Structure 1
């Protein structure tokens, strides 16, 4: 099967993050094993999701990891011109949920496996597919731990998020939290009998918004959801805020959390707050002189390199001591949108990249 055929299969699996990805995983694992790849599956605690680690070539250090995620964002309340889980071709573009983010890259990898096997590789190629990237990169730590526990350390990792095949060297971290305020309900005719949970929650929203607007270092803050109260004449006893920030550096991270801690320390009597972490995605900072960049250029990655506004799983590989960068087909501008698409020309560029991966792995280390 070629890249488009495989992409059609992958898009047909509804792997929205709230659902299991096992149908896709089992299909891909069967495909890889039929091509004589060595395949490992690692399941989450529920057993409903799994990562794939497939290796082609020798059991040796110094190989390359090609990393992608299997989950996609929801299509709820989006106006699609066609079924989002049926790949549609229009005007040189392939439309479908996940077509660009990031099943197009995964399809290009899978389509290249027979070529890689035929090249007689001298360095291994590892295909690493995670789950739940879209809700906080929950699967990739398990995948990396499994990789390092059961095989030699790779030389580099390329994460195929859409960059139009430009080499991505850096992005900010992503940290998500839920803050739940607890107060005391009472009749609104006498506020002294209760303690509002919404008012201090609103103060936190205002403080975070002020913090995000007042910095010039690229740190951003977003309030994703706020929910609280039960009726207009009841003092609210609970309010929940889901929020995230993307810091420019460690100092900015500490400053954001200090805002939350400061507000929590000054709460009125009868009010408390619990803040828990929902997601923690480390930043990526790859040195332009790192040998991994030279390899990506050899494979067809485009210059000049870019700093990405979005987070990826690359920081996890770097944190584990594996040099990592981002390079994949398509544009992030098309991701998460109704009628998401990837250009056929971008898939062709990814196919050429994958053939060069095979040539690189077949060459003497």
Structure 2
């Protein structure tokens, strides 16, 4: 693959948008294009595949193989365009009135494009510490790829000083957001004719008890003014009005702001499932888990992001990101990227040219930070 040595952020964004990386599809064509681009610019590139090898994360490093570097991270997948009315092909970048329209333009291929566009200028510098690019798969359906990516980062890269997750914040520093945990509880009972319910075991009744407990927790959070939220998203059970139901499924999620809220919900659910009626069993599994981002030990990341030009004051984000995964392994982490979350997932999704320009300046500052002389250790 021949890659132009001087591709602009807009040119790269146009290429990235053209890859349909909707989460139900493979992202390998996009990842291979990025890998070729980075290899052509002498980056050290590694792919981290999913179990079925249909998708891959990408981890790349520019600069010396030392500790104290910066991680710039984003996700490669996008949400579907199904049932949305677009005024143009969503997978062709279209410019109108200073805005670039296309699926993923804001969320978050604009950030990835700015990273890639800056690589040649980073390589022209003599970097004192590395810049690591970490691009994941399947963020939009539960952050499924990033645990593998972070695990490889820990195994392969000397401890970074910070991570910046480039979700669209209009270049403000995001320091906090709630987590997201999705759960599925499948109750199995014994179907019987309803003329004598004692011959069966209802799966719906214990499921209803769980739902009642969850609803009580939700009301308690609301009364207390807690940032934690809880939602019962789907209940499906039974076959007919005159049959004791043999199965019932409950899908629910909660969004905690801290570990205390997580523990409270988990304890309540354990109690709700601890004393099931005779003949009823339950399979309770977590189907998605995204840790919260807190302000714990992230001062270094905030300081560097401000030095690079990120906007202040800091923001509490209303949406979840992959940042908590990096923070969990001890990397100071913030969220900061171009574009607005209000445009994400929308028809005619767009990012302003001025936001891409701000991201370009941010990346040039990142290169200057990485090239700056390190303090001389004192005895």
Name the TM tier (shorter chain).
Answer: over 0.9
What SS does the aligned partner of 1:136 have?
A: coil
More deviation in 281-290 or 177-186? 281-290
CA drift at 1:31: 0.8
Report the Cα distance in structure 2 between the residues aligned to 1:349 and 1:206, rounded to whole angstroms: 49
Report the Cα distance in structure 2 between the residues aligned to 1:289 and 1:272, rounded to whole angstroms: 43
Report the Cα distance in structure 2 between the residues aligned to 1:282 and 1:290, rounded to whole angstroms: 19
Task: Determine whether 1:91 maps to 2:97.
Answer: yes
Report the Cα distance in structure 2 between the residues aligned to 1:191 and 1:89, rounded to whole angstroms: 65
Change (3 A) 1:3 1:257: same
Aligned match of 2:340 in 321, 331, 335? 331
Superposed, 1:214-293 pairs within 5 Å as 214-215=220-221, 216-287=225-296, 290-293=299-302
Q: Which runs of 5+ in 1 are unaligned?
A: none
CA drift at 1:150: 1.9
Report the Cα distance in structure 2 between the residues aligned to 1:100 and 1:203, rounded to whole angstroms: 42
Task: Determine whether 1:148 maps to 2:157.
Answer: no
**1:282-311 C-alpha deviation (Å, 9 max, x unpaired):** 221235871221111110111000111222
**1:129-179 C-alpha deviation (Å, 9 max, x unpaired):** 111112222222211221222231111110101111111111122211111
Task: Determine whether 1:70 maps to 2:76.
Answer: yes
Aligned match of 1:322 in 307, 325, 331? 331
Task: Determine whether 1:53 maps to 2:62.
Answer: no
What SS does the aligned partner of 1:135 have?
A: coil
CA drift at 1:55: 0.9
CA drift at 1:349: 0.9
CA drift at 1:248: 2.3
Task: Determine whether 1:301 maps to 2:307.
Answer: no
Report the Cα distance in structure 2 between the residues aligned to 1:120 and 1:132, rounded to whole angstroms: 34
8 Å Cα contact 1:183/1:272 also seen in 2: yes
8 Å Cα contact 1:94/1:342 also seen in 2: yes
Other-structure match for 2:4:
none
8 Å Cα contact 1:264/1:272 also seen in 2: no
CA drift at 1:33: 0.7
Report the Cα distance in structure 1 between the residues aligned to 2:92 and 2:252, rounded to whole angstroms: 33
Other-structure match for 1:120:
126
8 Å Cα contact 2:298/2:334 also seen in 1: no
More deviation in 188-197 or 276-285? 188-197
CA drift at 1:259: 2.5
- TM-score, normalised to structure 2, is 0.91
Q: Which runs of 5+ in 2 are unaligned?
A: 1-6, 375-379
Aligned match of 1:8 in 14, 24, 34? 14
Aligned match of 2:141 in 129, 135, 145? 135
What SS does the aligned partner of 1:265 have?
A: coil
Task: Determine whether 1:19 maps to 2:34.
Answer: no
**1:57-87 C-alpha deviation (Å, 9 max, x unpaired):** 1112111110011112222333333322222
More deviation in 306-315 or 287-296? 287-296
8 Å Cα contact 2:45/2:60 also seen in 1: yes
Change (3 A) 1:80 1:190: farther
8 Å Cα contact 2:161/2:300 also seen in 1: no
Change (3 A) 1:158 1:267: same
Report the Cα distance in structure 1 between the residues aligned to 2:77 and 2:316, rounded to whole angstroms: 24
Aligned length, in residue pairs:
365
**1:99-150 C-alpha deviation (Å, 9 max, x unpaired):** 1111111111111111111122222111111111122222222112212222
Aligned match of 2:319 in 286, 307, 310? 310
